[in-house]
């Protein structure tokens, strides 16, 4: 739990030294500016100068650290398969992820570490330490407060950093996180520091924008699977699949084989796949049980908001707002819920 091992502060001028010390022992990954714009991506960093801690949200989630967009499962030669697994030379520290993305990690843990544990996912997850950065401002499209995934996490992190001006409050959530703090110059957090943090997030919650009414979402979805909203937004949708591709909890993939022209060798690999694409639901003999766009869009939104709770005990949506931001025709999952609520009155 936050603060169980004692909160400390790190002055901003000492972050460079902290990153430098981390880099000697870990691969450090953090938010970096993409090109000359304000968009950020998670990438390897070697100094604090590369960090963009004030980012709104990245386009692609840090999920890619656990589930690469394309990954070889096995290679085969002369009919003999040889499985491939990740080679972890150094542990990774992902520095500066938001609370919503941490919640997504915890959801993916349920998917890939449950009844059928995925050894490739597990290897990466066990060797990934999370330094979470509390949200610095209200996101334009985010609704993490509604989904109880932010702006500050309660569990699941190794370290939690909160910007309070000239310094960060740092709270420890694990023994591994306590070990990371041995590489930083710290000072004990004072009651004044903690009060400043509390006031900051009280004000942020008060300034939240277009949130989502998350009461009994599974029931709301189940009662409205034939609602006209699915046809309306299905007519707008252009089948690009970007909403699912940027979702931090979407976990579907396709498995493909790539053969050498000699047919003597090749590889089997998996690659991200999304339910918005027509081919996703294709079956043998040309059948397709979600041929209509409205059905595929309903699958994506209803899974995120509704029946994922039956599968894994928690909503799939973490309120990051990426699907809203990425949609070229401005389909907004929050507006879907509002329309369903109006019909229920």
pTM score, whole prediction: 0.93
Q: How far is the C-alpha of 12 from the C-alpha of 2, rounded, in Å?
A: 21
**String of DSSP letters for 135-175:** -SS--SS--TTTTT--SS-SSS-SEEEEE-SSEEEEEE-SH
Q: How many CB atoms lie within 10 A of CB 146?
A: 21
- Cβ atoms of 324 and 333 within 8 Å: the answer is yes
Q: Give the pLDDT of the chain (345 residues) as one tens digit per residue.
A: 344 457 999 999 999 999 999 999 999 999 998 876 668 899 999 899 999 998 888 989 999 999 999 999 999 988 899 999 998 989 999 999 999 999 999 999 999 998 789 999 999 999 999 999 998 887 888 999 899 998 899 999 999 999 999 999 999 999 999 999 999 999 999 999 999 999 988 887 777 767 889 999 999 999 999 999 999 999 999 999 999 999 999 999 999 999 988 888 999 999 999 999 999 988 888 889 899 999 999 999 999 999 998 889 888 999 999 999 999 999 999 999 999 999 776
Q: How many CB atoms lie within 10 A of CB 50?
A: 15
The pLDDT of residue 3 is 43
Please say whether the dihedral angle defined by the alpha carbons of residues 151, 201, 183 and 52, taken in this order, is positive or negative.
positive
Strands laid side by side in the 265-272 sheet: 80-83, 70-77, 265-272, 253-259
The pLDDT of residue 345 is 67
**CA neighbor of 230 nearest in space, from 130, 167, 300:** 300
Calculate the CA 257 to chain-centre distance.
28
Q: How many CB atoms lie within 10 A of CB 55?
A: 20
- Cβ atoms of 28 and 130 within 8 Å: the answer is no
- What is the domain partition of the chain in residue ranges? 8-206, 217-344
């Amino acid at each position: 739990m936050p603060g169980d091992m004692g909160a400390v502060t790190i002055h901003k001028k000492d972050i460079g030294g902290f990153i430098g010390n981390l880099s000697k022992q870990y691969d450090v990954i953090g938010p970096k500016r993409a090109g000359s714009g304000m968009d950020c991506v998670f990438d390897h960093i070697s100094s604090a100068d590369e960090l963009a801690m004030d980012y709104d949200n990245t386009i692609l989630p840090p999920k890619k650290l656990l589930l690469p967009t394309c990954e070889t499962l096995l290679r085969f030669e002369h009919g003999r398969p040889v499985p491939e697994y990740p080679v972890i030379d150094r542990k990774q520290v992902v520095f500066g992820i938001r609370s919503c993305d941490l919640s997504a990690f915890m959801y993916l843990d349920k998917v890939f570490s449950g009844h059928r544990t995925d050894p490739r996912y597990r290897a990466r997850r066990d060797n990934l330490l999370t330094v979470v950065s509390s949200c610095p401002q209200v996101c334009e499209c985010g609704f993490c407060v509604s989904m109880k995934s932010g702006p500050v996490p309660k569990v699941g992190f190794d370290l939690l950093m909160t910007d309070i001006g000239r310094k960060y409050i740092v709270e420890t959530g694990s023994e591994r996180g306590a070990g990371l703090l041995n590489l930083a110059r710290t000072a004990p957090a004072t009651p004044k520091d903690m009060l400043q943090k509390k006031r900051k997030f009280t004000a942020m919650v008060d300034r939240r924008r277009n949130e989502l009414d998350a009461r009994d979402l599974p029931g709301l979805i189940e009662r409205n699977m034939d609602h006209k909203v699915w046809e309306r937004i299905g007519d707008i949708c252009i089948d690009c699949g970007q909403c699912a591709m940027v979702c931090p909890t979407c976990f579907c993939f396709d498995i493909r084989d790539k053969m050498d022209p000699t047919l003597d060798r090749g590889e089997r690999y998996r690659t991200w796949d999304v339910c918005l694409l027509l081919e996703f639901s294709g079956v043998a003999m040309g059948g397709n049980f979600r041929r209509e766009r409205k059905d595929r869009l309903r699958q994506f939104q209803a899974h995120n908001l509704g029946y994922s709770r039956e599968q894994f005990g928690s909503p799939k949506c973490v309120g990051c707002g990426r699907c809203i931001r990425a949609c070229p025709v401005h389909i907004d999952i929050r507006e879907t819920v509002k329309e369903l609520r109006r019909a229920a009155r």
